[in-house]
Amino acid sequence: EVAIFWFRRDLRADDNHGFYQALTSGRPVLPIFIFDTEILNDLEQTDSRVTFILHEVQKLQDLFEQNGSTFWIYQGKPLDAFKRLLTEYAVAEVFTNLDYEPYARERDKLVYEYLGTQNIRLRAFKDQVIFHKNEVVKADGKPYTVFTPYSKTWLSKLTSRDYEAFPSEKHLGNLVQTDPLPKYHHPDLGFKHGPYNVPPLELNVSLMESYAENRDFPAVAGTSRLGVHLRFGTVSIRKVTAEAVKHSSTFLNELIWRNFYMDILWHFPHVAQSSFKPAYDFIAWDNSEKLFARWCEGTTGYPLVDAGMRELSATGYMHNRVRMVTASFLCKHLLIDWHWGEAWFAEKLLDFELASNNGGWQWAAGSGCDAAPYFRVFNPELQQQKFDADFRYIKKWVPEYGTSAYPSPIVEHKTARERAIRVYKEALNER
């Protein structure tokens, strides 16, 4: 009988909690991966994230083969994968890591129930975050909805045990030994190599040490670019946290934001569809398709907004400061429903993470749990003066800025600001 370890958003063999539990369970472990067509069917054929996943899966397969084992790979629906798997192997238990997104919870519930009918247990472990579920809650047991007190409790609970590694990589000898090796060929998913390159995985000490000083300036390569690696689990959050504890409390604070949004999504899954604060679902958006297109292509006439949108389309990344400015601009200046922007970012960002993306958008729209107040409207020009004073970032992405080829502003700041405040107020006062 074998134990299964089901890889998902944890594409690494080292310091992988669920994998470690499987490998030390006393049974030989068969690692599996499912290319979930329920997810893939919704993606563009040139989605760079799929290229990245394929690459990482291949790396793991090579590693398992070097250890005399195999990687069982399936393309289709997860439930069908398990039905098939049970015809090929005598399975005692299935191990995996928890995933907190609504779709994943639904999927795991179905698999859990199916395996239950076969008397097989599905065991899911905490791996994506340092704390989850009810580990960081208020004294009365209710979830926090404001970041500052959440982060205080988070920090007060943190001990080095919370980021101690699970040395899964030391137990690869416990993988199922297959002789001869069955060759699983990678399914042809019909995806073409996407346009974006994933930044290399680096835990850079000097970057962390100067993070607090540099992180707000988009022209400076002052942030870690770890988002995509945390998203797909090619790096362990425990390892990153250990480094942050040593080198930068500001960096650690950002990891706490990530954890906060994951917890918000867990406790309030409705945010994936609608506003955290329901009154904000009644804003009378203008939703001009024409203006939305201008925002997407980066021709709004506001150079910091345009630079950000072009960086996103060209690289699959946008600097955090500029994410805030472009998001606020869409919701407030253009009065376009934040869901439109959320979806655009979700399609483009290599580091797209439902919890953080949704949290960031609801923050910018004012509809979120701990959001910018609705009357606070970022002034894109002032943001540029503060964070890209020498136009270095802007010149990189908007080379025609300052020439006659550059468009004039599609909305006037003062008028747009007043309109946003008025329309928001109307929605909020009526509730």
Q: Please check whether residue 236 is in contact with residue 14, taking contact to mean a CB–CB distance below 8 angstroms.
A: yes
Cβ neighbours of residue 38 closer than 8 Å, sequence gap 6 or more: 77, 78, 103, 107
Burial of 276 (0-12, 13-18, 19+ CB in 10 A): buried
Per CB under 6 A, 255 contacts ligand FAD: yes
Q: Residue 349 CB, nearest distance to ligand FAD (Å)? A: 5
Cβ neighbours of residue 59 closer than 8 Å, sequence gap 6 or more: none
The stretch near ligand FAD (CB under 6 A) out of 41-49, 188-196, 303-311, 321-329 is 321-329
When CB distances to ligand FAD are compared, the closest residue is 360
Per CB under 6 A, 254 contacts ligand FAD: yes
Separation CA 199–CA 315 (nearest Å):
10
Q: Residue 333 CB, nearest distance to ligand FAD (Å)? A: 15
Separation CA 262–CA 130 (nearest Å):
11
Nearest to ligand FAD of 274, 415 (CB atom): 274
> x/- site string to ligand FAD, residues 175 to 214, per CB under 6 A?
----------------------------------------
CB atoms within 10 A of CB 206: 8
> x/- site string to ligand FAD, residues 359 to 398, per CB under 6 A?
-xx--x----------------------------------
The stretch near ligand FAD (CB under 6 A) out of 31-39, 254-262, 292-300, 421-429 is 254-262
Nearest to ligand FAD of 225, 395 (CB atom): 225
Separation CA 319–CA 311 (nearest Å):
9
- 256 marked as binding residue: yes
Q: Residue 318 CB, nearest distance to ligand FAD (Å)? A: 7
- 251 marked as binding residue: yes
Q: Residue 129 CB, nearest distance to ligand FAD (Å)? A: 10
Per CB under 6 A, 261 contacts ligand FAD: yes
Cβ neighbours of residue 299 closer than 8 Å, sequence gap 6 or more: 306, 407, 410
- 276 marked as binding residue: no
Per CB under 6 A, 226 contacts ligand FAD: yes
Nearest to ligand FAD of 37, 315 (CB atom): 315
**Preceding amide of 180 cis, omega within 30:** yes
Per CB under 6 A, 327 contacts ligand FAD: yes
Site for ligand FAD in 345-364 (CB under 6 A): 345, 349, 351-353, 356-357, 360-361, 364
Cβ neighbours of residue 196 closer than 8 Å, sequence gap 6 or more: 48, 315, 316, 317, 350
Q: In what order do the strands lie in the sheet with 2-7?
A: 72-76, 29-36, 2-7, 91-97, 121-125
Longest alpha-carbon distance in the chain = 72
Separation CA 234–CA 11 (nearest Å):
5
Residues at the binding site are: 211, 251, 254-261
Residues at the binding site for FAD are: 211, 251, 254-261
Residues that bind ligand FAD in the complex, under the rule CB under 6 A: 215, 223-227, 230, 254-255, 257-258, 261, 320, 323-324, 327, 345, 349, 351-353, 356-357, 360-361, 364
